[in-house]
Structure 1
């Protein structure tokens, strides 16, 4: 959320955009993206903190912070690639390899003996995100109705297909 959205996206206090920490200025967003591109920030996480719809449909100050992040992480992150702000190798190191290394896991890399935890996706496949089609029990996302690129076609964990056709 913080790499692709800014405080102006909150507009008229739209609570699906209320996250922690709060969205900041465009200048701050660009600085964080540049820090990722430069390798100063080397891990990107989803900040998956979904809330039930009732807790988000309150006045802004009373609404819970949080949003679905797991299902929107890849297409949101790919916005940075499509806008030539971060190249794919750096982006995927920050999304997969570096978190795995930090946690001492063998995943996050394609090599003999590593777990076959894979995501097959089409980086250029366009779609409009519809929150009602999310698999999460919660449907609160600031990306509802957003035009995105990067459709996941399948996922595997330890070599077993867990999602996709």
Structure 2
């Protein structure tokens, strides 16, 4: 197994490094033909780790029913040119979600994972994009038909904090 060079760290996720105010929009119910969105605020801080071959994102989510913390951990596989993203939700401290895996093309990162939603097998898709240096967007979508159709069920708009 080849070792990753400690130089030439990937720059794909450099745009998320820093401190952000987050506006969340989440469907009230997923995969239920729901059109009602719930909006709430949050905060996110991201720092590079692994010499730039990863980063860790600390989140404060201010759900209407109460606040909680979560962490996203990202790591880069230089041999495959892909990123993996894991999610640890403070409400479920003994469970790390299945990682979504993908890459950036033309400045947009697209990541996928096979998972379960209740008893239903789904495909999860994350899309990361940058509007400008002070505004980012993330969205999550589920597909119950193997990726033929998608339901976007959560979006986050990030504004850089001073």
Structure possessing the higher relative contact order (Cα contacts under 8 Å, 6 or more residues apart): 1
TM-score normalised per structure 2 = 0.28
Higher percent of residues as strand: 2
TM-score, normalised via structure 1 length: 0.28
